[in-house]
């Protein structure tokens, strides 16, 4: 599995070279075989007899962080969506993107994102999952901002990254707490310890942090605002990221951790409430939009809210319906994004106010849109897969047995959200393909798209129809395994179209169709309601204002301390180190002083230390450069004498050599500098300087003493004493440590010194050359 996860990233390394051939052959043709091969590899696991697979590769075993990959029904569903729709998107992009575009950049970003998503859904280690999770945010930032010369593209890319990374960092905090509580980094082991997590005092905090990560990534209310702005990306990106993959990462996270939290009441309340609000708000706002991709963006928000709500219900029926709708949504929404791209590509606009009457000019595209929109609307027709999962959703809302107000209100809210879903779906189709022709408003004369651009949406629409006609083909061998991964109590039941006239869910569907049709026909009459709700109120304005304030305050703070004074910078650094380190030592009981096992202090040591103190104080009051350096050298030589007294001749020799070289270099440098002069500093400034100097010196002394007195870890000295001769072949332990045990470290230190010497030599040479000129 690791090969399948990393192969897109490996191929991405060769894309820049392949992109040089784009004038003779489109780069996407090479890239297409990557997701297609991954899809063919994983499709073999589909079947009634499938059992989960696990593969482990050591990475950082000392920290419990390994590349643990786990393939079960849930991850298999997402892997096939990521690779299958990824292949169709690449095929679509071959005909959508012109060869003059920066294809190398586009496909590198796309393959990077593919690896990230595969890693998210296959990782069993929470920290590896988090690594891939953040890679999805970074790669999607690059994809959304692909047309970086457009201000809106840059704005949308930054907005998506700011919101999703905020959620990702929150999720990381929840993961850290989970690993501490359970003592493991494996998700599957955590699921087995669900009772330990549920009985922990930090459960509300853990749940809140993880839900923040899921809600931001899956554009749940009120974090949904990044998704519409992300539509500035090229249409292949929208079809891939925002219908089938990235936005479903949060859905996957909730599904994966449902076995842990599903019995917790606040999980049901929070996830269900946020999901059902997102469903209603997204569908309501979609009707207001005039850009085709904006309509689909709010549609995606709405559909994701519906899936999230079902996962919040947690019942067997709801979980199965959620899994079913994940598949259905990917088929009809992916096709609709491609249809929107085709309309834009062939007419030059996505503004629905300028479109209309395209049915006769684009019959194939219109047919594809018909199946996609009607399936999304949940129209009760047996060849539309969207109706099946929508009716299962209604069944799930009716099956809630909780007596609280939320559970009782959910069926009504589900109908409300579905009514607006019907309205925007019908609005999308009839607004584009029927009605009066407005060709004088179009930048280009409309015509049917080339067959190459139609292949991908045709395949997706065929998926809509085939799943609708034969839903049980994907039931037992595929969907059931995914549902069981979320709720082990899910059992196989045949999915069929007709449940009788007395079916409450079917009656709810009829209500949606009837009221939705009336609202669509009277849209112009009730459209002014948007002037009241949301009116001028907008979460986008809140986000923009927040970012503006952060920028302003950050600039003010930075300008306050960035004065150009090295003294100010050093003071701030020393104070920060002093406060943080001393505070940490106070909290962790690091100030403990242990007088055991100390060497005897004689008059000789006290005399040497006394001379060092006098020399250090003398450097403060001397007014001559050379004298200050020589006096400071006394301190260094005093340290060397102490090493000799305490029988460390190797270290003493090193100290003597370094001190001699340092004093000589200082003498050479300071000879050319101005003489030290007395500054007229205010008394308060002198007090601050003295306080920082005394405080920092005291801190270092305390650190030295506490380091001897505190043994947080077992001493490694015994290991070096025992193995210095057998492993290093030397009796001098210090030399063996430097040359063998830390040989690479020593080599790099020498390399750094060599580079620094070359740099200094170059600067001196350059100065001499300028003086000669």
pTM over 0.95: no
Residue 493 has pLDDT above 80, yes or no: no
Q: What is the mean pLDDT of residues 405-414?
A: 93
Least confident residue range of 28-37, 105-114, 619-628: 619-628
pLDDT band at 155 (very low <50, low <70, confident <90, very high): very high
Looking at 194-291, list the stretches that DSSP marks H as alpha helix, in order from N- to C-terminal side. Answer: 194-198, 203-217, 226-229, 235-241, 249-261, 265-286
Other CB atoms within a 10 A radius of the CB of residue 146 amount to 21
Which residues neighbour 593 within 8 Å (Cβ) at sequence distance 6 or greater? 705, 706, 709
pLDDT band at 76 (very low <50, low <70, confident <90, very high): very high
Q: What is the pLDDT of residue 6?
A: 92
Residue with the two structure tokens 């100010």: 568
Other CB atoms within a 10 A radius of the CB of residue 431 amount to 19
Q: What is the pLDDT of residue 749?
A: 85
CA-to-CA distance for 141 and 297, rounded, in angstroms? 17
Domain ranges of the chain: 1-261, 263-531, 717-773
User: 69 - beta bridge partners?
Assistant: 55, 123
CA-to-CA distance for 639 and 76, rounded, in angstroms? 65
Q: What is the pLDDT of residue 678?
A: 62
Q: What is the mean pLDDT of residues 172-179?
A: 96
Residue 192 has pLDDT above 70, yes or no: yes
DSSP 60: E
Which residues neighbour 626 within 8 Å (Cβ) at sequence distance 6 or greater? 667, 670, 671
CA-to-CA distance for 437 and 420, rounded, in angstroms? 26
Give the rounded percent of residues in the chain with a pLDDT score beyond 70.
Answer: 97
Q: What is the mean pLDDT of residues 486-501?
A: 82
CA-to-CA distance for 426 and 374, rounded, in angstroms? 7
Which residues neighbour 482 within 8 Å (Cβ) at sequence distance 6 or greater? 73, 74, 76, 77, 323
CA-to-CA distance for 273 and 266, rounded, in angstroms? 10
The answer to whether the beta carbons of residues 319 and 258 sit under 8 Å apart is yes
Least confident residue range of 27-36, 182-191, 455-464, 704-713: 704-713
Q: What is the mean pLDDT of residues 399-419?
A: 90
Q: What is the mean pLDDT of residues 550-557?
A: 92
Q: Supply angle C-alpha 247, 333, 327, rounded to 5.
A: 75
Residue with the two structure tokens 């549920």: 198
> What is the overall mean pLDDT for the chain?
90
DSSP 739: I
3-state secondary structure of 68: strand
The answer to whether the beta carbons of residues 205 and 176 sit under 8 Å apart is no
User: Largest Cα–Cα distance of the chain, in whole Å?
Assistant: 105
Least confident residue range of 22-26, 518-522, 546-550: 22-26
Residue 686 has pLDDT above 70, yes or no: yes
pLDDT in tens, 326-351: 999 999 999 999 999 999 999 999 99
Residue 212 has pLDDT above 90, yes or no: yes
Q: What is the pLDDT of residue 260?
A: 95
Residue 605 has pLDDT above 90, yes or no: no
Q: What is the pLDDT of residue 703?
A: 85
538 vs 458, higher pLDDT:
458
Residue 280 has pLDDT above 80, yes or no: yes
Q: What is the mean pLDDT of residues 721-737?
A: 84
Q: What is the pLDDT of residue 676?
A: 63
Least confident residue range of 136-145, 418-427, 508-517, 711-720: 711-720
Residue 500 has pLDDT above 80, yes or no: no
Residue 522 has pLDDT above 80, yes or no: yes
Residue in 323, 300, 302 with CA at minimum distance from that of residue 313: 323
Least confident residue range of 536-550, 615-629, 670-684: 670-684
Would you call the peptide bond into 534 cis, given omega within 30 degrees of 0 as the criterion? Answer: yes
Distance set, CA 315 to CA 322, 323, 391, 399 (Å): 10, 12, 15, 8
Pull the structure tokens for residue 311.
Answer: 């996962």
CA-to-CA distance for 711 and 592, rounded, in angstroms? 10
Pull the structure tokens for residue 409.
Answer: 């209100």
Least confident residue range of 396-410, 503-517, 710-724: 710-724
pLDDT band at 712 (very low <50, low <70, confident <90, very high): low
Distance set, CA 178 to CA 192, 193, 306 (Å): 13, 10, 28
pLDDT in tens, 27-68: 999 999 999 999 999 999 998 888 899 999 888 887 778 899
b (16+ CB within 10 A) / e for 261-286: bbebeebbebbbbbbbbbbbbbbbbb
The answer to whether the beta carbons of residues 425 and 376 sit under 8 Å apart is yes
Q: What is the pLDDT of residue 494?
A: 80
Q: What is the mean pLDDT of residues 246-269?
A: 94
Q: What is the mean pLDDT of residues 355-371?
A: 94
Which residues neighbour 508 within 8 Å (Cβ) at sequence distance 6 or greater? 394, 411, 414, 415, 418
């Amino acid at each position: 599995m690791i090969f399948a996860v990393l192969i897109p990233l490996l191929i991405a390394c060769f894309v820049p070279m392949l992109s040089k051939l784009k004038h003779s052959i489109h780069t996407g043709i090479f890239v297409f075989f990557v997701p297609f091969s991954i899809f063919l590899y994983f499709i073999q696991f589909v079947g009634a007899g499938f059992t989960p697979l696990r593969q482990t590769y050591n990475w950082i075993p000392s920290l419990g962080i390994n590349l643990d990959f786990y393939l079960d029904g849930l991850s298999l569903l997402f892997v096939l969506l990521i690779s299958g729709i990824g292949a169709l998107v690449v095929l679509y992009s071959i005909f959508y993107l012109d060869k003059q575009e920066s294809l190398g950049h586009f496909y590198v970003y796309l393959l990077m994102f593919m690896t990230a998503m595969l890693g998210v859904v296959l990782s069993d280690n929470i920290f590896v999952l988090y690594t891939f999770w953040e890679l999805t945010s970074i790669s999607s930032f690059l994809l959304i901002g692909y047309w970086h010369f457009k201000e809106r593209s840059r704005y949308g890319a930054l907005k998506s990254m700011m919101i999703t990374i905020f959620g990702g960092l929150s999720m990381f905090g929840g993961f850290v707490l989970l690993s501490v509580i359970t003592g493991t980094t494996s998700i599957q082991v955590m699921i087995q310890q669900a009772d330990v997590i549920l009985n922990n005092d930090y459960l509300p905090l853990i749940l809140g942090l993880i839900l923040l990560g899921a809600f931001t990534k899956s554009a749940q209310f009120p974090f949904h605002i990044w998704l519409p702005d992300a539509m500035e990306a090229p249409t292949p990106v929208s079809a891939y990221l925002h219908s089938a993959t990235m936005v479903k990462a949060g859905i996957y996270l909730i599904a994966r951790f449902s076995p842990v939290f599903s019995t917790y009441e606040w999980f049901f309340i929070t996830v269900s409430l946020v999901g059902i609000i997102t469903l209603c708000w997204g569908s309501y706002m979609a009707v207001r939009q005039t850009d085709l991709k904006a309509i689909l963006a709010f549609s995606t928000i709405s559909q994701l809210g519906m899936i999230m709500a079902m996962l919040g219900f947690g019942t067997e029926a709801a979980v199965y319906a959620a899994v079913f709708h994940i598949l259905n949504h990917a088929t009809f929404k992916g096709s609709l994004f491609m249809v929107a791209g085709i309309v834009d590509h062939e007419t030059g606009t996505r503004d629905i106010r300028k479109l209309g009457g395209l049915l006769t000019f684009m019959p194939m595209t219109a047919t594809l849109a018909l199946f996609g929109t009607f399936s999304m609307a949940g129209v009760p027709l047996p060849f539309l897969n969207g109706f099946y999962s929508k009716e299962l959703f209604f069944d799930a809302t009716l099956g809630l047995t909780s007596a609280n107000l939320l559970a009782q209100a959910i069926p009504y809210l589900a109908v409300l959200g579905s009514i607006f879903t019907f309205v925007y779906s019908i609005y999308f189709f009839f607004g584009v393909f029927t009605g009066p022709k407005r060709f004088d408003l179009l930048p280009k004369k409309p015509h049917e798209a080339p067959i190459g651009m139609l292949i991908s949406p045709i395949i997706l629409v065929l998926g809509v129809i085939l799943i609708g006609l034969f839903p049980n083909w994907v039931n037992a061998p595929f969907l059931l395994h995914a549902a069981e991964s979320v709720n082990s109590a899910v059992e196989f039941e045949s999915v069929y179209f007709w449940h009788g006239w007395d079916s409450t869910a079917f009656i709810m569907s009829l209500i949606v169709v009837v009221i939705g049709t009336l609202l669509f026909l009277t849209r112009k009459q009730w459209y002014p309601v948007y002037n009241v709700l949301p009116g001028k109120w907008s979460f986008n304005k809140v986000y923009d204002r927040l970012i503006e304030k952060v920028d302003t305050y950050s600039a003010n703070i930075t300008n306050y301390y960035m004065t150009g004074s090295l003294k100010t910078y050093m003071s701030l650094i020393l104070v920060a180190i002093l406060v943080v380190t001393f505070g940490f030592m106070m909290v962790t009981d690091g100030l403990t002083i242990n007088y055991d096992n100390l060497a005897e202090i004689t008059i000789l040591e006290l005399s040497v230390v006394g001379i060092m103190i006098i020399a250090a104080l003398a450097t403060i009051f001397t007014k001559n450069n050379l004298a200050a350096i020589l006096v400071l050298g006394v301190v260094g030589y005093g340290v060397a004498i102490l090493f000799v007294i305490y029988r460390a001749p190797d270290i003493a020799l090193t100290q003597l050599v370094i001190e001699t070289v340092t004093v000589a270099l200082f003498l050479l440098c300071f000879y050319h500098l101005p003489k030290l002069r007395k500054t007229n500093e205010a008394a308060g400034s002198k007090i601050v300087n003295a306080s920082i100097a005394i405080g920092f010196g005291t801190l270092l002394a305390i650190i030295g003493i506490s380091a001897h007195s505190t043994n947080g870890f077992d001493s490694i000295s015994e290991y070096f004493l025992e193995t210095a001769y057998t492993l290093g072949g030397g009796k001098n332990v210090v030399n063996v440590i430097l040359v063998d045990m830390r040989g690479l470290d020593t080599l790099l230190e020498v390399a750094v010194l060599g580079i620094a010497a070359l740099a200094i030599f170059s600067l001196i040479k350059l100065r001499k050359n300028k003086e000669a000129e």
